[in-house]
Amino acid sequence: MDIMFIVGAVLFLILAPILGGLLTGCDRVLTARFQSRVGPPLLQPFYDVAKLWHKEKAFSNPVEIIFTTAYLVLIAFSGAMLATGGNLLFVFFSLALAHTFLILAAYSANAPYAHIGAERELLSVMILEPILILFAAGCFLVTGSFDTYHMLIQDVPGIIYLPGVFIVFIAVLTLKLRKSPFDISTSHHAHQELVKGVTSSLSGRSLAKVEIAHWYEMMIFLSMILLFFAGYPVLSAVAIILVFLLEIVIDNIFPRVTWKMTVKSLWIVTLVFGVGNIVVLGILGGIV
């Protein structure tokens, strides 16, 4: 392993939560502006987490402490792996494991709202799984390797080969960033029928950990956009900002849909664009 990779991982571990928190702050301010409000200060997400960190230690089941820690650590670990140009498939598996821990934390509370949140989070993991595997497969077909490193050093940006996968990626990003219309398991606002869904039984430090993990996750998924525009830093940056703005706008112009509609719409998109893209790529014999 290159020393540069280790530096990259460490940088990611430190910078991602800071950037993620700032982006969340931007998100909240922008959302407020879309709603004709002034909105909170930019640093509000940090205040929130700091406050949560100092709250009383209270839980509905002590195992949630370890589960939320595991969630945070594994998400950070996946991010670090991504930052080192590591194996994309492994990043995804590690993310799935991390989410399993979040789901277990919700299950362990044995409260109906947390439980349904857990089931819905599980559904969203299920929705996400195919497109992630297809994404990895697409990268493999383009570069002959699952390593993000190879994707990054491509001469031609990946989006040329994987436009369909990119579309699906943007669609599922809404789910991943817990935005309307697909914020079925929990959301950043007061979530209606499920109270707070998967995080509803977490409080204090556990919730703070989940919050930080969300920042990491957001950075992981946003930085995956890089893979589609590798080699063009300006273009990548523009793409990331545009996608992020698009997500905020989508959040504001859609009501929440039911989980059934979520599964159907996202899987139809996955089947049409994702699988279609991979099949075309496969028929053309890949790029290698």
Footprint of other proteins on 264-283 (CB under 8 A): 267, 275, 278-279, 281-283
Of 236 and 270, the one with the shorter C-beta distance to other proteins is 270
Half-sphere exposure of 194 (CA within 13 A, CB side): 27
Q: Which residue has the tokens 């002959």?
A: 144
Site string for other proteins, 135-174 (x = CB under 8 A): -xx--xx---xxx---------------------------
Return the residue of 13, 65, 243, 269 that touches other proteins, per CB under 8 A. Answer: 65
Rounded-to-integer distance, Cα 204 and Cα 211, Å: 11
Residue 153's alpha-carbon distances to 85, 100, 230, 235, in angstroms, are 10, 32, 7, 15
How many binding residues for other proteins (CB under 8 A)? 114
Binding to other proteins (CB under 8 A) within 107-126 occurs at 107-116, 118-119, 122-123, 125-126
Rounded-to-integer distance, Cα 87 and Cα 85, Å: 7
| CB of residue 7 to other proteins, shortest distance in Å | 16
The yes or no reply on residue 89 touching other proteins (CB under 8 A) is yes
* Upstream peptide bond of 163 is cis (omega within 30 degrees of 0): no
| CB of residue 232 to other proteins, shortest distance in Å | 26
Return the residue of 96, 170, 240, 269 that touches other proteins, per CB under 8 A. Answer: 96
Return the residue of 77, 215, 228, 229 that touches other proteins, per CB under 8 A. Answer: 77
Take residue 52 and report the two structure tokens written for it.
Answer: 């949560």
The yes or no reply on residue 232 touching other proteins (CB under 8 A) is no
Take residue 81 and report the two structure tokens written for it.
Answer: 């792996």
Return the residue of 16, 75, 81, 225 that touches other proteins, per CB under 8 A. Answer: 81
CA neighbor of 273 nearest in space, from 171, 191, 181, 194: 171
Of 26 and 235, the one with the shorter C-beta distance to other proteins is 26
Cβ neighbours around 181 below 10 Å, total: 18
